[in-house]
Amino acid sequence: MFEKTTIALPTGFKRTISKDTQWKKAGQIPQGTVYRATGAIFTIEGRNVHEAYLVLDGNQALVGFYLPGESKFSKLTQPIQLRTN
């Protein structure tokens, strides 16, 4: 769905979205549309490793992550425009 993209997280860690990962719409939160990886678990790292769903705004920019284990939104410092395949 998306081209390969490496994201620098506010925690200092980096995470790569693989071009082979498939994403399915999982819902909506005030910050945007939530997409969950299918067939794999996508994680981000801070003090701990968390399963994470992508949160995209109306312009398909990644604005942050929804952490389902905590029912919490984690905002990126700057939105990242994702390119589709």
In the chain, what are the domain boundaries?
5-81
pLDDT at 60 over 90: no
56 closest CA partner among 85, 23, 22: 23
pLDDT at 85 over 90: no
Contact 25, 34 (CB under 8 A): yes
User: What is the predicted pLDDT for the residue at 29?
Assistant: 97
End-to-end Cα spacing for the chain: 6
pLDDT digits (tens, 9 = 90+) for 9-51: 888 889 999 988 999 999 999 999 999 999 899 999 888 899 9
Q: Which residue has the tokens 């425009």?
A: 81
pLDDT at 80 over 80: yes
Mean pLDDT of the region 62-70: 95
pTM for this one? 0.92
